[in-house]
């Protein structure tokens, strides 16, 4: 019986062997959802396939096999690095499913492993809600936490010390008390969900966020046309004044999301009929838009990741992008923006 092996599988297998050698046989890494036979410290609760094809290039976004599925797992004796949000087993093997990045990228970003002598141990069943920059937190961390919580509703929730406001806002919204942990925490039993591909949303996680949105009973904002400004964070066009003058003329409300509560951000995007914004974390809130109900215009530089196009596509949101090759300063074609805002005119 002949058997075909894809080049991608060979590439990933060789990569994993190389990383295992470089990190040392004593530690190395594991993919616990695909172990056969399943080890005695692991229980796989459920597995959901990710059916939508991931966009290229996948090397940076995610080069490992589990990105084709979402698994909810229980790991005995797990150790969590609350700075990186990475999970390790009781023998300090890195758990591949705890990262949305490919293995080589994960090790390059955070090569240090927790020191077991510096951990605080939490008995019983626990969940961990990671923190990250807002986009990665909302698109990757939150769905994984909610999927794990659905599987272990009575488990204790752990967060890092002094978590960002949006983390606290989320837990308050869903009525969950939490415990703050130091940089390394050991869990008698940790329930967690595997991550999808870094940066790029997937349909399983987006469905989880939509289910959360629909359960909150928030009243949508009255703002129908929203322009998400990045003046407070930088990385905005040099003719931002002209852009804002145009959108105000077209009846938009200019908003800066920093400092806005999570519930207000959810309500804002739930009620919006048109959202215009520069490529940045604030557009992660497109996840709160109602299916097919919001037109999106993204202002982006050429070559930026198409994560918001994917997010719009998964929610059937009409989407357009204005991108130009910067020559000197980065400017937006205001006439093209006007046409994108009201394509029927």
What digits encode the pLDDT tens for the residues 84-118? 899 999 998 999 899 888 777 777 777 677 876 56
- Out of 4-8, 232-236, 285-289, the most confident range is 285-289
Give pLDDT, residue 295: 96
The C-alpha atoms of residue 172 and residue 8 are separated, in whole angstroms, by 43
Closest of 169, 174, 145 to residue 158, by C-alpha: 145
Give pLDDT, residue 109: 72
What digits encode the pLDDT tens for the residues 127-147? 999 998 999 999 999 999 999
pLDDT level of residue 219 (50, 70, 90 thresholds)? very high
Query: CB–CB of 18/10 below 8 Å?
Result: no
Domains and CATH numbers, the chain: 7-211 (no CATH), 225-341 (3.40.50.2300)
pLDDT level of residue 28 (50, 70, 90 thresholds)? confident
Q: Is 65 helix (H, G, I), strand (E, B) or coil?
A: helix
What is the average per-residue pLDDT within 46-65? 64
Both tokens of 253, joined, read 């409300």
What digits encode the pLDDT tens for the residues 279-338? 999 999 999 999 999 999 999 887 788 899 999 999 999 999 987 666 667 888 899 999
Give pLDDT, residue 81: 92
Query: CB–CB of 155/176 below 8 Å?
Result: no
């Amino acid at each position: 019986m002949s058997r075909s092996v894809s080049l991608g599988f060979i590439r990933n297998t060789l990569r994993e062997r190389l990383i295992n050698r470089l990190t040392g046989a004593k530690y190395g890494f594991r993919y616990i959802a695909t172990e056969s036979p399943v080890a005695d410290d692991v229980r796989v609760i459920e597995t959901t396939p990710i059916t939508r094809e991931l966009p290229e290039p996948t090397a940076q976004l995610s080069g490992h096999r589990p990105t084709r599925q979402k698994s909810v797992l229980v790991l005995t004796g797990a150790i969590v690095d609350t700075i990186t949000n990475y999970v390790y087993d009781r023998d300090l093997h890195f758990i591949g499913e705890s990262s949305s990045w490919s293995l080589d990228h994960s090790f390059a970003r955070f090569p240090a492993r927790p020191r077991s002598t510096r951990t605080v141990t939490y008995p019983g069943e626990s969940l961990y809600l990671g923190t990250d920059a807002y986009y990665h937190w909302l698109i990757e961390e939150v769905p994984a936490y909610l999927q794990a919580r659905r599987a272990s509703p009575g488990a204790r929730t752990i967060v890092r010390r002094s978590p960002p406001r949006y983390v606290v806002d989320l837990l308050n919204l869903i009525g969950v008390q939490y415990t703050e942990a130091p940089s390394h925490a050991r869990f008698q039993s940790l329930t967690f969900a595997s991550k999808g591909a870094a940066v790029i949303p997937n349909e399983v996680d987006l469905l989880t966020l939509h289910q959360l949105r629909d359960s909150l009973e928030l009243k949508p904002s009255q703002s129908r046309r929203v322009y998400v400004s990045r003046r407070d964070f930088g990385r905005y066009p040099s003719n931002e004044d002209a852009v804002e003058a145009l959108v105000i003329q077209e009846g938009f409300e200019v908003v800066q999301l920093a400092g806005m509560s999570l519930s207000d951000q959810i309500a804002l995007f739930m009620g919006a009929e048109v959202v215009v914004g520069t490529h940045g974390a604030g557009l992660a809130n497109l996840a709160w838009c109602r299916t097919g109900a919001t037109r999106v215009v993204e202002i982006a530089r050429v070559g930026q990741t198409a994560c918001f196009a994917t997010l719009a596509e998964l929610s059937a949101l009409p989407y357009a992008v204005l991108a130009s090759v910067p020559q000197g300063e980065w400017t937006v074609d205001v006439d093209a923006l006007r046409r994108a805002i009201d394509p029927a005119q």
